[in-house]
Structure 1
Amino acid sequence: MAKNVHTLTLLHQQPVLSEWIDYNRHMNVAYYVLIFDQSLDVFLDDIGLTREYRDSSNCTVYVLETHVTYIQEVHEGDLLDIYIRVLDCDEKRMHLFLEMRHHEKGFLAATSEQMIMHLDKTGPSAAPMPGFLQSKLEERKREFASVPFPKQSGAVIGIRRKK
């Protein structure tokens, strides 16, 4: 994965497809989630949590929680860059932050913060990741350890009242 000037690592690129456009003439919210999910698959493969690993270990991951922010609309044909950062991890979980940016214009279109759990499929129940996965996650976490968390991370949803 290539480093970027942002506080995340370039992970994936995806053009906005015509069938993803809604009645407002921009990409429907469901497809933001789809792109983030497909990008997550790229990341998991990159750290070694591949289909082969999942089949041979009888383990997988589930997304426990996700928080998506929609910041600026994108349109048919726009090329999107997806960036990722490991905010935190432990033996069973990974806390990830993804950004979706317009490739040509560079603006932030959306973010996705995710909590992911490693599971033994026989339960399914939470299970520690093998050392090689934990090491990869720790390495990714250290890449940006000195950089503050993105401002959208840890956001709480609610109506902000004026005083």
Structure 2
Amino acid sequence: MALDLSSLPVTNRKIIPVDFIDIMGHMNVMWYIHIFDHGTRNLFNRFGFGEEYIQRTGMGSFALESHIRYLAEVKLGEAVTVRSRVLDRSAKTIHFLHFMTRDHDESLAATIEVLGAHADLTRRKVTPFPPEVLVQLDALLNVHRQLPWQAPVCGFIGVRKN
């Protein structure tokens, strides 16, 4: 079944500026991470794990692992949209996938699959998500688990079930 990204939340939009373009005439790989990172922040805001939460609690997130696929060139002036899907979680970790599409033809330009963790920023240690975040995270996860298509994951990243 084809990917129907329209059911996923938009977590970032960007028009590609000149300083994102490298000598090959397309967006440099470091800017994909930048654009996806803003998508992560906006995704996390959806389940109460945003900047306000970080400042109030001293808790945040660590990226543990990621896998990027580059599927189509992105060039100067193109508009891109990032949509995000939560795949799984444990008490301390979250597995999610971002999709970057080019707005002019809706083609898939890149994906990034990420395993992240909830962290105590004072102790610099991974720690369980609090219940108030899990309630909202699980609501979004349950919606995404109902999607009729399989997420195109790499097969190496995932939540450990203990």
TM-score scaled to structure 1, two decimals?
Answer: 0.86
Between the aligned partners of 1:50 and 1:128, the Cα distance in structure 2 is: 16
What is the root-mean-square deviation of aligned Cα atoms in Å?
A: 1.7
The equivalent residue for 1:130 is 130
Q: Identity across aligned pairs (percent)?
A: 26
Between the aligned partners of 2:26 and 2:138, the Cα distance in structure 1 is: 37
The equivalent residue for 1:88 is 88
The equivalent residue for 1:150 is 151
- Contact 1:87–1:149 (8 Å) recurs in 2: no
The equivalent residue for 1:57 is 57
Q: Does 1:41 align with 2:41?
A: yes
**Which residue type is aligned with residue 75 of structure 1?**
K
- Contact 1:90–1:134 (8 Å) recurs in 2: no
Between the aligned partners of 2:131 and 2:114, the Cα distance in structure 1 is: 21
**Which residue type is aligned with residue 18 of structure 1?**
V
Q: How does 1:18-29 map to 2 (within 5 A)?
A: 18-29=18-29
The equivalent residue for 2:160 is none
**Which residue type is aligned with residue 150 of structure 1?**
A
Between the aligned partners of 1:21 and 1:122, the Cα distance in structure 2 is: 37
**Which residue type is aligned with residue 58 of structure 2?**
N
Q: Which runs of 4+ in 1 moved over 4 A?
A: none
The equivalent residue for 2:30 is 30
* C-alpha deviation, 1:9, in angstroms: 2.4
The equivalent residue for 1:159 is none
Between the aligned partners of 1:66 and 1:8, the Cα distance in structure 2 is: 20
TM-score scaled to structure 2, two decimals?
Answer: 0.87
SS of the aligned residue for 1:144 comes to: helix
